[in-house]
């Protein structure tokens, strides 16, 4: 035995010589001495500590000490010691990113720990399992592991660990873009941190909740939570937390277009990152400052910030950041009119595309090149770059769709497993109740058979049981009342839909009748009196019949489109497409009508302006708005169609100088519950259904539509469509 102990000591000493070049020598010496102890528990603990001491620097040594710990633990037959040793081996694999092997060892560790005396250690292993699954993108399994860890932590009263486990659940839901679920669990975690007064935890959750609200479009709530997080980190003197909070506040103020506040917090984030020597934080801060300076048209200062960001990114060898910053610099030169330098820097960005296949940045580079080519009058090149841009965006869109499909699969799988767990819990409850009932019956008969005197106890017991049953019935009745309430609300909603439907059919029946009456009446006159009418009278009647049939066709077309939209049979197929050709196609159909009224249509839309929308739906929107403008315009009036890119959306306006819409009637537009129509300048009739269609189709494409007060007389309808400009989201890392 002594000889064997000496051999182990020699081996450990040799490992020490080759291992602890970067490790605290005094600590290593102490652990090596303890690792040869005859006390198995002390020996295992020492070997586990040695594993942890070296796994960041020497993975092979970590695995060596972990194996020795397992060998020593196997001789103890102690579940707690065995659980620690196997968990330690799994940790070594986790630290070396070998997640599959780690999960296998964690599975063995948790079996021992569940038999041991420390439930919180079971929670710790479940936390590690959740981390492995998250790194493997197996979010459903990760969520279940973290939830079980949170439940165990709550049972043993370790509320702080419970809150952190709930935050891990929230992070998983955020990863699969289920932000509402993420918000639910983050709020639970924040509530626990507040109750137990753990301020770093509160600040951490507030920062996370603020980011979720920003992604959900709740900007004011995002600002509120980020400010709260910032104040807590400031009171704690936590520079790392303040760096993140300052950057988040800068982004929120930027989105609120409060440029001075955004710049103030970006600069704070930069100063904090410099103080803590956080290179990555410095690069992000300089990049965001550059973006904001460019937005404010302070191009010289923007270039200074971008160049500093670029210098740090090159030092860190972060290829994505380098490519992104080169694109940003190219945009600055483009907007400041220096086309030569813009071309130079976008070419530099493209040199990184071979080693960094980031489709967002590659698409952006091609967009810049397209803009440059159009500026130079090189339309063929501009078209080629634009085609590349659209092709890359199409690939990106497909990748995003695939990712969303996987996210939906994960959500479905997670919900299914949650339901299975809930059913298992219900099954266990039923079994426990059955066992309890059987025990109660046994006790009852034993008591009856032994002592009649105990009848009082039996009565008391029965009363207590009845109280429990009554309580259970009360709870069930409450559940039924809640269900009935939801059914009542659903019924009310259906009634409202039926009322709207009746109004709609009443409107259509009324407005279909007029064109038909005109068609039948004037065609009958023409048929009956054809020989007696002069050529001028015949032409006038034919024109009236033609106009009525045109109005009827428009009404029926709008009715068909509206009905299809209400039935959900209109397919929404968004794609990247230039806006100008869609407008030109619709105007080809409408210009004869405009020319007949002596109207001029002016189009001011850049050729390179791209929207992400359904081509057919956009065509219907343009057609209806321009038709309305023609309808309410007088001879020699001008109809202007313009479009600009603004805040990641394309803003399209159709303005006329016609008779306009009275302010008292403007709030009746885009509504089915009000029957508002008016005649055109040539007595054209309508139903208002075209504007309803516009509203439906604009919102289906993710935009808004409204009537804006025109400086001159007439009307100005504006709607928005998504623009595929993603550089902003890439810049705000």
Burial class (CB in 10 A: 0-12, 13-18, 19+), 116: middle
Query: What is residue 688's predicted lDDT score, i.e. its pLDDT?
Result: 61
pLDDT > 80? residue 339: yes
386-390, 502-506, 629-633, 718-722: range with lowest mean pLDDT: 502-506
pLDDT tens digits, one per residue of 584-618: 988 887 887 788 888 899 999 988 788 888 888 89
Please name the helix (run of DSSP H) or strand (run of DSSP E) that holds residue 504, with its range, or none. Answer: helix 455-529
Query: What is residue 114's predicted lDDT score, i.e. its pLDDT?
Result: 92
pLDDT > 50? residue 731: no
292-296, 386-390, 409-413, 729-733: range with lowest mean pLDDT: 729-733
Please name the helix (run of DSSP H) or strand (run of DSSP E) that holds residue 718, with its range, or none. Answer: strand 716-722
25-34, 345-354, 368-377, 571-580: range with lowest mean pLDDT: 25-34
How far is Cα 129 from Cα 105, in angstroms, rounded to an integer? 10
Query: What is residue 263's predicted lDDT score, i.e. its pLDDT?
Result: 92
How far is CA 32 from each of CA 12, 45, 60, 324, 399, rounded to the nearest angstrom?
7, 11, 17, 50, 52
Dump the DSSP string for 294-354. HHTT-HHHHHHHHHHHHHHHHHHT-HHHHHHHHHHHHHHHHHTT-HHHHHHHHHHHHHTTT
Model confidence band, residue 693 (pLDDT cutoffs 50, 70, 90): confident
How far is Cα 730 from Cα 551, in angstroms, rounded to an integer? 49
31-45, 62-76, 167-181, 426-440: range with lowest mean pLDDT: 426-440
Top-confidence residue, 523 or 148: 148
Cβ-contact 35, 19 below 8 angstroms:
no
* 705-708 vs 716-722, strand pairing mode: antiparallel
The token pair that represents 646 in the structure block: 């603004």
Model confidence band, residue 529 (pLDDT cutoffs 50, 70, 90): confident
Burial class (CB in 10 A: 0-12, 13-18, 19+), 381: middle
Q: Which DSSP letter does residue 672 get?
A: S
How far is Cα 416 from Cα 60, in angstroms, rounded to an integer? 41
Cβ-contact 85, 44 below 8 angstroms:
yes
pLDDT > 50? residue 20: no
Model confidence band, residue 407 (pLDDT cutoffs 50, 70, 90): very low
Query: What is residue 17's predicted lDDT score, i.e. its pLDDT?
Result: 39
pLDDT > 80? residue 179: yes
The total of other beta-carbon atoms located within 10 Å of residue 638's CB is 15
Model confidence band, residue 275 (pLDDT cutoffs 50, 70, 90): very high
pLDDT tens digits, one per residue of 322-332: 889 999 999 99
How far is Cα 597 from Cα 587, in angstroms, rounded to an integer? 15
3-state SS string over 118-132?
Answer: CHHHHHHHHHHHHHH
Give the phi and the psi of residue 648 in degrees, each rounded to 5: 65, 15
Of 625, 643, 648, the residue nearest 702 (C-alpha): 648
Average pLDDT, the chain: 78
294-303, 385-394, 552-561: range with lowest mean pLDDT: 552-561
Average pLDDT over residues 85-90: 87
The total of other beta-carbon atoms located within 10 Å of residue 403's CB is 12
Q: Which DSSP letter does residue 377 get?
A: T
Query: What is residue 424's predicted lDDT score, i.e. its pLDDT?
Result: 47
Model confidence band, residue 495 (pLDDT cutoffs 50, 70, 90): low
Query: What is residue 570's predicted lDDT score, i.e. its pLDDT?
Result: 67
Query: What is residue 325's predicted lDDT score, i.e. its pLDDT?
Result: 93
3 state SS of 717: strand
Query: What is residue 390's predicted lDDT score, i.e. its pLDDT?
Result: 78
The separation between CA 564 and the C-alpha centre of its own chain, rounded to angstroms, equals 29
Average pLDDT over residues 334-361: 84
* 638-646 vs 600-604, strand pairing mode: parallel
- Residue tagged 């290593």 (tokens): 28
Q: Which DSSP letter does residue 683 get?
A: -
- Residue tagged 């409450």 (tokens): 478
How far is Cα 183 from Cα 211, in angstroms, rounded to an integer? 10
Cβ-contact 326, 362 below 8 angstroms:
no
How far is Cα 250 from Cα 388, in angstroms, rounded to an integer? 34
What is the chain's Cα-based Rg? 36
* 649-655 vs 610-613, strand pairing mode: unpaired
Q: Which residues pair with 643 in a beta bridge?
A: 652
Query: What is residue 367's predicted lDDT score, i.e. its pLDDT?
Result: 87
H helices of 577-724, in order, are: 579-596, 615-631, 663-666, 689-700
- Residue tagged 């939209």 (tokens): 565
Burial class (CB in 10 A: 0-12, 13-18, 19+), 552: middle
The token pair that represents 485 in the structure block: 């309430």
């Amino acid at each position: 035995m002594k000889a064997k102990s000496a051999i182990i000591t020699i081996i450990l000493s040799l490992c020490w010589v080759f291992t602890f070049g970067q490790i605290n020598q005094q600590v290593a010496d102490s652990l090596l001495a303890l690792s040869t102890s005859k006390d198995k528990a002390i020996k295992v603990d020492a070997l586990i500590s040695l594993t942890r001491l070296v796994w960041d620097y020497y993975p092979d040594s970590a695995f060596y000490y972990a194996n020795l710990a397992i060998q020593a633990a196997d001789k103890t037959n102690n579940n707690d010691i065995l659980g620690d040793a196997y968990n330690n081996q799994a940790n070594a694999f986790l630290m070396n990113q070998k997640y599959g092997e780690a999960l296998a060892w964690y599975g063995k560790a948790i079996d021992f720990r569940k038999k041991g005396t420390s439930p919180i250690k079971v929670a710790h292993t479940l936390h590690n399992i959740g981390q492995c699954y998250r790194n493997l993108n197996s979010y459903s399994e990760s969520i279940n592991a973290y939830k079980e860890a949170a439940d165990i932590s709550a049972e043993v009263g370790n509320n702080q660990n419970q809150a952190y486990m709930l935050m891990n659940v929230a992070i998983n839901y955020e990863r699969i873009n289920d932000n509402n679920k993420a918000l639910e669990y983050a709020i639970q975690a924040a509530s626990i941190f507040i109750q137990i007064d753990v301020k770093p935890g509160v600040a951490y959750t507030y920062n996370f909740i603020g980011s979720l609200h920003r992604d959900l479009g709740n900007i004011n709530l995002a600002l509120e939570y980020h400010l709260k997080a910032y104040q807590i980190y400031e009171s704690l003197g936590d520079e790392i937390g303040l760096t993140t909070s300052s950057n988040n506040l800068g982004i929120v103020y930027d989105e609120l277009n409060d440029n001075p506040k955004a710049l103030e917090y970006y600069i704070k984030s930069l100063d904090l990152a410099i103080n803590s020597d956080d290179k990555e934080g410095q690069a992000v801060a300089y990049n965001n400052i550059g973006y904001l300076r460019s937005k404010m048209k302070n191009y010289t200062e923007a270039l200074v910030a971008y160049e500093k960001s670029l210098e740090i990114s090159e030092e860190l060898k972060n290829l994505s950041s380098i490519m992104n910053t080169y694109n940003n610099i190219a945009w600055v030169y483009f907007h400041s009119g220096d086309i030569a330098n813009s071309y130079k820097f976008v070419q530099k960005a493209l040199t990184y595309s071979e080693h960094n296949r980031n489709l967002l940045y590659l698409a952006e580079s091609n967009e810049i090149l397209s803009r440059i080519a159009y500026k130079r009058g090189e339309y063929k090149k501009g078209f080629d770059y634009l085609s590349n841009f659209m092709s890359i965006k199409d690939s990106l869109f497909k990748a995003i769709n695939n990712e969303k499909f996987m996210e939906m699969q994960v959500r479905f799988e997670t919900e299914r497993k949650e339901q299975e767990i809930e059913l298992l819990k219900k099954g266990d409850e039923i079994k426990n109740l059955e066992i309890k009932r059987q025990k109660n019956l046994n006790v009852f008969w034993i008591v009856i058979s032994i002592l009649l005197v105990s009848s009082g106890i039996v009565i008391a017991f029965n009363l207590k049981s009845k109280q429990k049953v009554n309580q259970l019935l009360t709870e069930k009745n409450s559940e039924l009342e809640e269900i009935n309430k939801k059914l009542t609300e659903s019924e009310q909603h259906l009634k409202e839909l039926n009322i709207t439907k009746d109004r709609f059919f009443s409107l259509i029946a009324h407005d279909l009748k007029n064109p038909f009456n005109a068609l039948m009446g004037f065609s009958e006159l023409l048929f009956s009196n054809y020989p007696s009418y002069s050529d001028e009278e015949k032409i006038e009647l034919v024109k009236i019949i033609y106009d009525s049939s045109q109005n009827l066709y428009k009404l029926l077309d709008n009715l068909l489109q509206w009905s299809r939209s209400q039935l959900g049979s209109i397919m929404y197929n968004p794609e990247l497409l230039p806006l100008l050709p869609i407008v030109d196609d619709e105007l080809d159909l409408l210009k004869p009508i405009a020319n007949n009224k002596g109207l001029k249509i002016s189009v001011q839309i850049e050729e390179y302006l791209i929207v992400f929308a359904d081509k057919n739906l956009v065509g219907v929107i343009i057609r209806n708005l321009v038709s309305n403008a023609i309808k309410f315009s007088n001879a020699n009036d001008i109809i202007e169609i313009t479009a600009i890119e603004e805040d990641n959306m394309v803003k399209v306006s159709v303005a006329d100088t016609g008779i306009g819409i009275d302010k008292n009637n403007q709030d009746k537009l885009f509504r089915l519950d009000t029957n508002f129509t008016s005649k055109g300048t040539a007595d054209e009739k309508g139903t208002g259904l075209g504007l309803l269609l516009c509203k439906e189709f604009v919102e289906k494409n993710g935009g808004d539509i409204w009537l804006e007060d025109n400086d001159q007389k007439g009307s100005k309808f504006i709607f928005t469509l998504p623009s595929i400009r993603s550089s902003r989201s890439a810049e705000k890392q």
